[in-house]
Every structure is written in structure tokens, then in C-alpha cells.
Amino acid sequence: MKRTAFFISDGTGITAESLGRSLLAQFSGVEINMLTKPYIDTLEKAQALARIIESTAGHDGQQPIIIDTIVDQQIRDEIRKAPGFKVDIFSTFLEPLEQELGTRSSYSVGRTHSIGSDDVYMDRIHSVHFALDNDDGARTHQYDKADIILVGVSRCGKTPTSLYLALQFGIRAANYPLTEDDLDEDGTLKLPKALVPHRRKLFGLTIDARRLSAIRNERRPNSRYSSMDQCLQEVEQAEALYRILHIPFIDTTRFSIEEISTRMIAETGLARRFSPR
């Protein structure tokens, strides 16, 4: 069964898409084409979109699913003229909350993802800059300012996780790659000197060697770097180091960046500088 879902907003569409995808992910047996339509903030745009939805219904032979966070009642009414199963997030939740809180909602467009507090916005920017400046062991002299330092073999997910922690939570995350340069004379992996003073900040990432080989093959096909033997050796050495030094770590193989980050925060007790967007 194939269906189309529209995530519609008079703002960025992030809230409608996030909630919509979370809800629809529960229906694995249904093939759903998901379309995000942000900034539907005029009657003309709403009318044009309603025509697209109507055309989609005719093409699919099924009414589309419409999930919206539109604030303006007139624009919402235009969208409601189109055939579809409609989930109006604001009216579903805001009206009961108004009754409970005894006050009216401001019904302001884009409040969730607006800049809001200048301090929070600048904190987000500084955290992202820190993650970029301290990517891949680039500036180890700044590690005293880091909230956490991710360690792991190349291509195990250190960089995207660092950036997600910065962007979503304002956490200053650095990351350092464990490479053959860190091997001891007996061939075992040792903790790099730059990390020794910051052991309490270290958090390890690991990954299934088969998955790692596949990822590396996309970057350097048929190389020693991407070979199964090399990947297996590096992963085993990194995990042994984590266990010997009691460094907490997560296997990233089957987790999304969001899951890796939240599990990391839960395990370490890292303080968020702000709530996720």
C-alpha cells in the first residue's frame, strides 16, 4: 500500500515533519512518500498547495495524510478544503492546554525554531564552531574547554555526533581519531598523549567491522584502509583500550546520531546548555 503524507507549516515545517515522521515510522508495512511544505503563509500558497494535494489524491487513488502546524485560521481553512486525512497539531493540543492553563495561546508563527534568546543562539553558534575547530584532533590545546571528547577509529561517527551535540544541545564536543600512530611497540593501542590529561572527558565510539569496511570502501575502495582485516584489527584494538582504561563507549552500528547523542548524555550526565530544536 502506497500513501502520500504532507507535512505543512507556515514556518520552517520542522515541528510538523519531526512529529509526522515519528508517527508514520510506526507503520512499517506502508510505503509512504513524505513531502514537507514549509512557509505556507499566504492564501495564495495555501490554495496552490490544496490543488497539489487534490491532484495527489487522484493520482494515488487514496486520500493523502495531512499533518500541519499552521497558525492562521484562514490558511488552515484553505488546506482543509483539500481531500485528505488531517492531523492539525496545534488545534489538537493547544486548545486543551488553553483550558488547563486558563489562558489563550499566542498563536505565533515560528516560535519553536526562531532565534529567541540571543544568548541561546550565540551559545549554539559557539558550540558548532568549537566542534568544527576541534574535529579529528585538530586543536588539542583547546580540550580544557571541551565538555566531552569523542574517540574512536576513523569513520565510526565521531564528527556527525560532535556536530549534533553542539547544534541540538550546545555541548562543546571535540573528537580525536585513534590511528596506527598510537600503537605501542607491542602492537597494542595506547592512549594518545594529548588525551591523557582529559581522561575523565573521554567517550568512545565503536562500530561493527563489516559496517566500517563498507563505509570506508565508499571513500577509498579496495584499499588497505577499507579492508576487512584492517577494520577488524582497529575496532578490536579500540575496544580493548576502552575496557582497559574504563572509558565508556557506544556501538554506533545500529543507532542514529540522535540515539547515540541522547544515550551518551544519559550515561555521562552531560549538562545541556539548551533544549533541542
Please indicate if the annotation marks 156 as binding a ligand.
yes
CA 40 vs CA 9, 70, 164: distances in Å = 6, 8, 28
Please indicate if the annotation marks 86 as binding a ligand.
no
- For the chain, list the strands marked E by DSSP: 2-8, 31-37, 65-68, 85-88, 148-152, 173-177, 202-206, 249-251
Give me the helices (H) in 84-196, please. Answer: 89-101, 118-133, 158-169
Q: State the DSSP string of 77-108.
A: HHHHTSSSEEEEHHHHHHHHHHHHHTS-----
Q: How many residues does the chain have?
A: 277
Please indicate if the annotation marks 157 as binding a ligand.
yes
Please indicate if the annotation marks 158 as binding a ligand.
yes
Please indicate if the annotation marks 268 as binding a ligand.
no
Please indicate if the annotation marks 4 as binding a ligand.
no
Please indicate if the annotation marks 159 as binding a ligand.
yes
Cell reading at 258: 540522535
Supply the DSSP symbol for 195: G
DSSP SS3 for 59: helix
Largest CA distance in the chain: 73
Please indicate if the annotation marks 153 as binding a ligand.
yes
For the annotated binding site, the residues are: 152-159
Residues annotated in a binding site for ADP? 152-159
